[in-house]
Structure 1
Amino acid sequence: MSDRLEFIDQACSSTVDVQVPGKYLKGASPREAGLWGGKWEIRSSAGAIQRREHTDVPTPLAVYLDLPIATMGGRAKTMPSASRRLYRELGLICIIGAGMGGLTSALALAREGFKDINVYETASNLGFVGAGIQLAPNMARILDHLGVWEPIAKEATNIRETSIRQGATDQELAHVELDYIEKTYGYPHMVGHRASLAGSLYDGCKREESIKFHFSTSVEDIESFSPKPKFIAKPRDGEPYTVEADVLLASDGIKSKIRVAMLKQLNVNAEVQDTNQAAYRIMIHRDEVKDDPEILQLIDSNRVVRWIGAKRHIIAYPVSNKTIYNLSTTQPDDRFAAAPSATYTTKGSKSAMLDVFGDFCPMVKRMLDKVPEGEVCEWKLRVHSPLPTWVHGTTALVGDACHPTLPHLAQGAAQAIEDAAVIAVALSKLPDTSPESINKALRVYEKVRKGRAEALVEMAAASGRALHLGEGAAKEERDKQFAALKGGKGPVPDKWADADVQRLIYGFDCTQVTRDSFDEIFKSLSPAQSVL
């Protein structure tokens, strides 16, 4: 028998349909039902809940928003949207940037029934490159709902375990089994190639007649934000022209021109910040290590390995049907100091890269040595402080344009995809197409997403600090926590592998939360001055 029960956890209140064997709880308050305090989670698709030991919710996630968490044990289900049942003549939706956030925004809006979606991309084509990417359940749920998950999953690796190891000795500090993730959240934690993710999203977009791409076209200037956003588009081989949109979504990355223009108009100073960290992205093809059985064993595994050292670490996993071993590094930024602030990548030196990890174990150094001279590229890792708003008039920021993050939780792309999914749901529930209503719908998006995304940005930074500890008392305490994991006890210093953090990230169904909370949030918002 399934009843409706409101229960409280340490992060926020949550109302869910639950099924508790042998106990009728209809109408019972959380306190009367004996459920007050403690931590709870949905364990099966039937909705049965089981109590877990009380542990504190990691800050800052405990404060991210007073909205319900929808912890799912099943696969995404296609739901008829309001805009399909009664299409609203919203008009022109413009999306700047065809990265993960932009592509998902376009596809999600098209699937909600919107008919005039234009994507502007500076590149001449999407020519998918890049390195590996982690495909977490909260991302997979959205992609499955949009009909593009299956081809991604076919090429991806299902991660069943993670091993955290000392960089210098290759000694295992901790080992975490991850098979429970699919059972708990309906999707496994997978890893794949960025080209596979972007390619499947793009293929989905091309199947939608309502989506039009403008390649080789940059945004030169923002003429106005209200009553409707107006910008100058400049084709590479053509004359600039003015575009007036009903909705403008800026998914143009951490160097977003639209964010800069928006904040300038709002008299807000929010500069991009250095993190003093940089990264190498390395892809080792199977045939390059065919004579190295130790590395081949890693490529053939379903395991994420993280080698950690003072101020540095490497995370690695197999992708592309286990034909490639992907390594992502993080290390001190020693090579961008003299570069202009706009520089985000630089041609790296192989010898410098080998020096950075010169005290790591021989196997790691053998892998790094496989990188051809002249093909070393280093990325500068930047973030910016939380913005006062993501929305101005009928313009909204998406993904790295509003919440760039360090990679230590592997949630950068997933959070951009959550942004896109929430925007599509919010706009599908518009009561009318006035600028005032569009602005309020976009502010619902901000209300659902901003606190959560910014909390995860801080959590990623904190996890990186824990991983990069040098010798001293803090490192000794961290390593004791890692050692306790072998006995199945305690928190995980690497928050990516921590079950409580995973519950808060993977168990949050952003689209369902938006559908459930839209009306209440929308009614609570007063008209914004920028659209009056």
Structure 2
Amino acid sequence: MKIVIAGAGIGGLATALSLHRAGFTDVVVYERVSALRPLGVGINLLPHAVRELTELGLAEAAERIAVKPSRLSYYNRFGQPIWSEPRGTEAGYSWPQLSVHRGEFQMLLVDEVRRRLGADAIRLDSRLVGVEHGEQHEYARFARASGEEFEVTADVFIAADGIHSTLRAQEYPEDGAPVWSGLVLWRGTATVPAYLDGRTMIMAGDGEQKFVAYPLAPADGDDPGSLRLNFIAERRAPEGTTELADWNLPIDPEPIVELFSEWTFDWLDVPATIAAADQILEYPMVDREALPAWRFGSSVLLGDAAHAMYPNGSNGASQAILDARTLAFHLANGVAALGASSGRPDAASTTAAIRTALDAYDADRRPATARLLEMTRALGPERVMQLAYDRAPEGFADVHDVIPADELQQIADDYKRTAGFHPSTLNERASLSASVERGSVAD
């Protein structure tokens, strides 16, 4: 069985590794860029994603380039504490949470795909142009930067080609551009004095203006009092502003420093952190509407191509990894059942089994991510900051004077359950590991 993936981001690479782990050996990833480089800033891999990395044999390597956050703490724009909770194993999970540089993690996955599937498993300079769905095969058309086009035939085609997915646009031409929230994000990394316990992820502010920070690594050199920090500064754009066209626009930090000039807390100097950034990149905060279906013929959407959402809850990369593992699980189980029932099946039976497996993946992941999309639009777990602002815009002596403790706990628990990583269910749920038999139609 030949499986083709468009996109060598976290979702596409995790899918290739998941499929290989399940016994599929003919898997190729096509990527539009001509060279893969460790670009980006920080991401968080939540315990449900780290569980899947563990079962793929990748967790130890990921931990070597990551920090394990000890806590997640929310504050208002005056630096007053709203809610704090332990994270990872310190919260009772069997797996940690990992804060890691996105580009470094992507390159780890690139190296593993090439090691496990072969040096030619990732093919660059290959931009997806379109997909034709045949009765028994998928025909994916790609273009090189030179303009040359070529076609690849596959039994299964997986579009992990991001928020501007070609397959999504082909199947939903009315979908239009991503939906802008009206918020602008400025992301960067900086070396700063260690704050709190040196492993706490913080979020301060409300729905109009917010600052997020978490350690990525100890600082380079011999200074034990410093750390390498990832930050996101966020502000609602002035009324009448049109959506920004650039997704990765370097900007001068000084205007952003000025926006946060009064955010100097006892435990973190926010304007100084922004000013210390190596580079600041500006993004519009956008998402995509939920879709009625992800499967088309024997092609399917995955990751941001299927369910791009706001970063509220730090869950985007984790959801792509869950997609990857769930898809491989259903394909492996479907192929194994087909082989057990009919020996060496004919092409029509194989195609039917593939599409049934893709439908099972859709049924598992599409409703779950649609619910999560709606929750992120309602601020997700960060709603505690907005409640504090709504009820006490000038601050408070004690947050429980304005938000009862059980209400704060309920917000945190509801998000974890919707996102699939409440400790009471994650630790006990069945594994997503599955395997086809060697010598079956997987080969």
How high is the TM-score relative to the length of structure 1? 0.69
Deviation string for 1:245-270 (max 9, x for gaps)?
A: 11110000000011111224xxx646
Q: Which has the larger radius of gyration?
A: 1
Asked if residue 429 in structure 1 is aligned to residue 333 in structure 2, the reply is yes
Cα shift at 1:140: 0.3
Within the candidate set 454, 458, 462, 2:378 is matched to 462
Deviation string for 1:49-100 (max 9, x for gaps)?
A: xxxxxxxxxxxxxxxxxxxxxxxxxxxxxxxxxxxxxxxxx2x211000111
- Equivalent residue runs for 1:137-286 within 5 Å: 137-167=47-77, 169-178=78-87, 181-182=89-90, 184-209=92-117, 212-224=121-133, 226-237=135-146, 239-264=148-173, 269=175, 271-285=177-191
CA distance in 1, matches of 2:80, 2:203: 11
Asked if residue 93 in structure 1 is aligned to residue 7 in structure 2, the reply is no
State the secondary structure of the residue aligned to 2:25. coil
Deviation string for 1:152-196 (max 9, x for gaps)?
A: 1123222222322222x32223332346x4563301223222133
What's the counterpart of residue 128 of structure 1? Answer: 38
State the secondary structure of the residue aligned to 2:38. coil
Count of matched residue positions in the alignment of Structure 1 and Structure 2: 406
- Equivalent residue runs for 1:12-411 within 5 Å: 90=1, 92-167=2-77, 169-178=78-87, 181-182=89-90, 184-209=92-117, 212-224=121-133, 226-237=135-146, 239-264=148-173, 269=175, 271-285=177-191, 289=192, 295-298=193-196, 301-309=198-206, 311-321=208-218, 323-333=227-237, 337-338=241-242, 343-361=246-264, 363-371=269-277, 375-411=279-315
Query: Which structure 1 residue ranges, 5 or more long, are not aligned?
Result: 1-89, 290-294, 517-532
CA distance in 2, matches of 1:358, 1:335: 22
Equivalent pair of 2:190/2:230 in contact (CA under 8 Å):
yes
CA distance in 2, matches of 1:251, 1:335: 34
Asked if residue 502 in structure 1 is aligned to residue 416 in structure 2, the reply is yes
What's the counterpart of residue 438 of structure 2? Answer: none
CA distance in 2, matches of 1:494, 1:355: 35
What's the counterpart of residue 512 of structure 1? Answer: 430
CA distance in 1, matches of 2:213, 2:43: 10
Equivalent pair of 1:277/1:331 in contact (CA under 8 Å):
yes
CA pair 352-114 structure 1, distance change in 2 beyond 3 A: same
Q: Which amino acid aligns with 2:101?
A: H
CA distance in 2, matches of 1:346, 1:116: 38
CA distance in 2, matches of 1:178, 1:440: 37
CA distance in 2, matches of 1:401, 1:220: 15
CA distance in 2, matches of 1:236, 1:335: 39
Q: Which amino acid aligns with 1:483?
A: V
CA distance in 1, matches of 2:54, 2:20: 15
Q: Percent same amino acid among aligned pairs?
A: 24
Q: Which amino acid aligns with 1:172?
A: P
Query: Which structure 2 residue ranges, 5 or more long, are not aligned?
Result: 220-226, 339-344, 435-443
Cα shift at 1:360: 2.1
CA distance in 2, matches of 1:352, 1:280: 11
CA distance in 1, matches of 2:248, 2:410: 27
Equivalent pair of 2:169/2:175 in contact (CA under 8 Å):
no
How high is the TM-score relative to the length of structure 2? 0.82
Deviates more, 1:478-487 or 1:390-399: 478-487
Higher relative contact order (CA 8 A, sep 6+): 2
Q: Which amino acid aligns with 2:406?
A: G
